Structure 1
């Protein structure tokens, strides 16, 4: 196995993430058109429970594996890697069995006390097998990320989405004729089948390209680190992450309960509240978080990369990573914010056949930069062993969100728009706090001139799209496509003209860089 560079690994995950995100949209669109916004609401109501249980089961170990395996490989310590994986597998296996049994035993309590709509109960039952599958898969992903080999993770995600789409197409299409409750459960079963296929693929890849004897052939089979030291190192990383995810999962699990009760307090019925929550969480949020596929890939690579840099006493490389992440985030977030803000209603109409989702999305879209930047900043803090700070900032944002949901969504004049405002405020505050601490520990390494140029290119894109669409009261699909596609082409050209992108830095992109740099050379002023 060849270890990948930071740029190469990030690119692999970005490409696979883009593919899986597009496939995820196909999945969402297909599911939405099969079961509607109300069915999506039933599907989404049980998800916070899954996140809460997985927080206990995985116990922050995937991140610990990624960081510690990267350090051990850099130190040529094969025995330490084996010990890290052995301890992690035992812990996760025992916890997965215990919580699976607990979810079965407590199913009636959850149905009566937690689920705000009783029709979500079949989806809850179908979700239970996911616990063990996702938990074990996360360990394999952490292992490959620690090796800085992103290929298995990338292909595994694509396989998961493929199986999920096919399963939904078959199962949900059949069960929707019985009831919405069973259709939502069928969609959850499709997720189970997808995750299981991804796990089997990762197991196969580990045996084919992840054997330690091939990765570290000259390493000693003994390590100077004791078992107690290994457990302590894992605990130092995993405990703050677990606490952060636990508190965040509790906050996330409380979200649908508070949203539903706030909407009912505002005068909406249970059915209408479920529909509105489905529009927010099942339709608007997936569109909003689409660009995070790029910055999320950066964050995944930043943890082992920053850890390796700190272990090698090369702090200047961390500052370089910060500058790269900031510019890359702006290049993705600025134009996406323009598109989603301008065309929120027509986009949701043509994608979901639900134009009423547009205002929900338009409230959050202008804050896209903070949403996209949050993950890379968290990755840097985790790589710097400042997971507690990232945890605190995440908790502050989560508590702010719940407070604003109570205050805003319960107003009849705001309703679900208040939930959108609370979400935007939450991730913006968390991001600003993360940025303050990263600058404090790493230094100010942000290229403001690059950000200004990206902003100018985005403004040019906005002017073009405004000119194309200003004569239409109801935007036809052809005009929308012309505005969006033409806008992104103009944006790319402006980035080249302003020398944010040049043939020289494009050439550094693995594999596709040389031929893509030839395209950039045709752009004005790009050298």
Structure 2
């Protein structure tokens, strides 16, 4: 298996993330045209509840597995790596099956009493298989990330996105004649098929990794491998592992536990306790975010109804915010996600060695890249909101939502690496407290502002903006205090100056271009102003030739 350096691993995930985000805008653009903003709202209303259950199942397990595997790899302990994988897989599958059963039994009650629109029932039922599918994929993802191999994660993301797009649009259009709720269910079915494809990619890489990582043992049966044996041997009971008998040997239905396996099973209880200890604070932090998202979706629609907006219109406004505006704002998080994923094993290894200089270096790299890459998106979305949403969604009336939320993008892009740093330095509890404070403030502001008729949906935008700013500042203060790292203020000033110059150029081009087609003018303005921004970054020394050399594929040209 090929390991990657921190920057190379981040760039691999970034390339996949950029491809996914670009492709992901195909359904974002096409789906509202097929099922409308209200149909998108029904589709989006399911996700907060799914997010809560997925957080309970997988919240901190991938991060804990990645961190723990990275530590075991640095010590050369391959047996510990296998034990970590088996324990995590057993816990995840058990939780996923329990949650799936609960979800199916209580689906009618949840969609009529908890969620705000009973038409989400069909989509809610369709999405239940994703709990088990995503749960298994997340353990494999954590394992590969811990071994600093980002290729399986990147490839699975791309395959999932391509299949999901094709299936979403096709199934939504086919089921639309049956009603809007069935069209939303068809879009959800496409998402499920995409996750199945992602898991298949992970399984292929796991089988390949097993051949490279663990030499064949003549005493092991065909099932005793990391790719398939660990799915059979979930770390719960010995008889779950069924080895095929040798030719000519009569099978007894189960194989007695071997001495080595018995020893490993005896270790699984402390392994499970440590896995829970590592993952529970991270799960708690993400659970706060997931529950906040769920409560936010409920409170937003109900507060809009309090402001005098009908349920159908409120669902449409919520769908526009969550399904159209936020995906645009979160587009650069393809970078921050890749940085965060690569940052955790890298910082964990540095912390295990006591290498404070390496911690500061990696943290500075991730924050600088997040800031430099996210800043131009903030400028373009803030200044060109109306032509963007008109050309992408054919809904120019939602442009003020994008313009109002765009400045918070800087804080969103910095938040990911900061939170990953707290997790890598064994301080997930602090990240949890920061997230809880931000969530409480956001929900309070949603109720107070969104229910006002003069604000409406803009009250929710203000609340979300305050949440992003507050949590990022709290994370930043915590990281500075724990690691001793000090941000370089001149870099922020230089980026801010470049944003101002870029914005002025962008507005001038849009207002003076002689082109009659708006999309061509928008493309020219974005490309020209982005080039000016990059040149300014190079002149001021924020990026240099060495940064470009690290980009896979094109780095050799620099």
2:478 to 437, 442, 460: 437
Residue number in structure 2 paired with 1:520: none
1:413 is paired with a residue whose SS is coil
Residue number in structure 2 paired with 1:476: 518
**1:383 partnered with 2:411:** no
For the Cα contact (< 8 Å) 1:325–1:376, is it kept in 2?
yes
For the Cα contact (< 8 Å) 1:78–1:212, is it kept in 2?
no
Determine the C-alpha separation between the residues in 1 that align with 2:433 and 2:212.
36
Alignment coverage as a number of residue pairs: 513
**1:28 partnered with 2:28:** yes
Given the superposition, is the C-alpha separation of residues 216 and 429 from structure 1 closer, same or farther in structure 2, using an over 3 Å criterion?
farther
2:497 to 456, 461, 478: 456
Of 30-39 and 466-475, the range deviating more from structure 2: 466-475
How far is 1:176 from its partner? 1.4
Determine the C-alpha separation between the residues in 2 that align with 1:60 and 1:440.
23
Determine the C-alpha separation between the residues in 2 that align with 1:216 and 1:344.
58
Of 493-502 and 311-320, the range deviating more from structure 2: 493-502
Residue number in structure 2 paired with 1:525: none
Determine the C-alpha separation between the residues in 1 that align with 2:161 and 2:79.
35
Residue number in structure 1 paired with 2:191: 191
For the Cα contact (< 8 Å) 1:172–1:184, is it kept in 2?
yes
Residues 191-270 of structure 1: pairs in structure 2 closer than 5 A: 191-210=191-210, 213-214=213-214, 226-270=267-311
2:178 is paired with a residue whose SS is coil
Residue number in structure 2 paired with 1:66: 66
TM-score (norm 2): 0.88
2:531 to 461, 466, 489: 489
Determine the C-alpha separation between the residues in 2 that align with 1:329 and 1:356.
30
**Could you give the per-residue CA deviations for residues 136-165 of structure 1, whole angstroms, max 9, x where no partner exists?**
111111111111100010010000011111
Given the superposition, is the C-alpha separation of residues 508 and 246 from structure 1 closer, same or farther in structure 2, using an over 3 Å criterion?
closer
**Could you give the per-residue CA deviations for residues 168-201 of structure 1, whole angstroms, max 9, x where no partner exists?**
2321111112211000000000000000010011
Of 441-450 and 201-210, the range deviating more from structure 2: 441-450
**Could you give the per-residue CA deviations for residues 24-74 of structure 1, whole angstroms, max 9, x where no partner exists?**
111211212111110000001111110111122225211111110111111
Given the superposition, is the C-alpha separation of residues 466 and 197 from structure 1 closer, same or farther in structure 2, using an over 3 Å criterion?
same
Of 318-327 and 450-459, the range deviating more from structure 2: 450-459
How far is 1:216 from its partner? 13
Determine the C-alpha separation between the residues in 2 that align with 1:11 and 1:196.
25
1:248 is paired with a residue whose SS is helix
For the Cα contact (< 8 Å) 1:469–1:475, is it kept in 2?
no
Determine the C-alpha separation between the residues in 1 that align with 2:210 and 2:299.
45
For the Cα contact (< 8 Å) 2:52–2:291, is it kept in 1?
yes
Given the superposition, is the C-alpha separation of residues 426 and 59 from structure 1 closer, same or farther in structure 2, using an over 3 Å criterion?
closer
1:124 is paired with a residue whose SS is helix
Given the superposition, is the C-alpha separation of residues 505 and 129 from structure 1 closer, same or farther in structure 2, using an over 3 Å criterion?
closer
1:403 to 444, 459, 468: 444
Determine the C-alpha separation between the residues in 1 that align with 2:547 and 2:328.
30
**Could you give the per-residue CA deviations for residues 97-141 of structure 1, whole angstroms, max 9, x where no partner exists?**
111111111122112211211111111011111111111111111
Determine the C-alpha separation between the residues in 1 that align with 2:538 and 2:59.
45
In structure 2, runs of 5+ residues without a counterpart are 218-259
Given the superposition, is the C-alpha separation of residues 212 and 253 from structure 1 closer, same or farther in structure 2, using an over 3 Å criterion?
farther
1:366 to 407, 419, 425: 407
How far is 1:427 from its partner? 1.0
For the Cα contact (< 8 Å) 1:144–1:210, is it kept in 2?
no
Determine the C-alpha separation between the residues in 2 that align with 1:364 and 1:73.
42
2:523 is paired with a residue whose SS is helix
Residue number in structure 2 paired with 1:310: 351
Determine the C-alpha separation between the residues in 2 that align with 1:8 and 1:330.
18
In structure 1, runs of 5+ residues without a counterpart are 518-527
**Could you give the per-residue CA deviations for residues 329-381 of structure 1, whole angstroms, max 9, x where no partner exists?**
21122211111100112101100111122111111101211110000000000
Residue number in structure 2 paired with 1:354: 395
Of 27-36 and 203-212, the range deviating more from structure 2: 203-212
Cα RMSD over matched residues? 2.1
2:360 to 287, 312, 319: 319
How far is 1:215 from its partner? 9.5
**1:329 partnered with 2:360:** no
Determine the C-alpha separation between the residues in 2 that align with 1:212 and 1:504.
32
**1:501 partnered with 2:540:** no
Residue number in structure 1 paired with 2:460: 419
1:470 is paired with a residue whose SS is helix
For the Cα contact (< 8 Å) 1:10–1:301, is it kept in 2?
yes
Of 206-215 and 438-447, the range deviating more from structure 2: 206-215
Determine the C-alpha separation between the residues in 1 that align with 2:464 and 2:60.
24
Residue number in structure 2 paired with 1:393: 434
Given the superposition, is the C-alpha separation of residues 12 and 210 from structure 1 closer, same or farther in structure 2, using an over 3 Å criterion?
farther
Residue number in structure 1 paired with 2:230: none
Residue number in structure 2 paired with 1:291: 332
Given the superposition, is the C-alpha separation of residues 471 and 2 from structure 1 closer, same or farther in structure 2, using an over 3 Å criterion?
closer
Of 321-330 and 284-293, the range deviating more from structure 2: 321-330
Residue number in structure 2 paired with 1:83: 83
TM-score (norm 1): 0.93
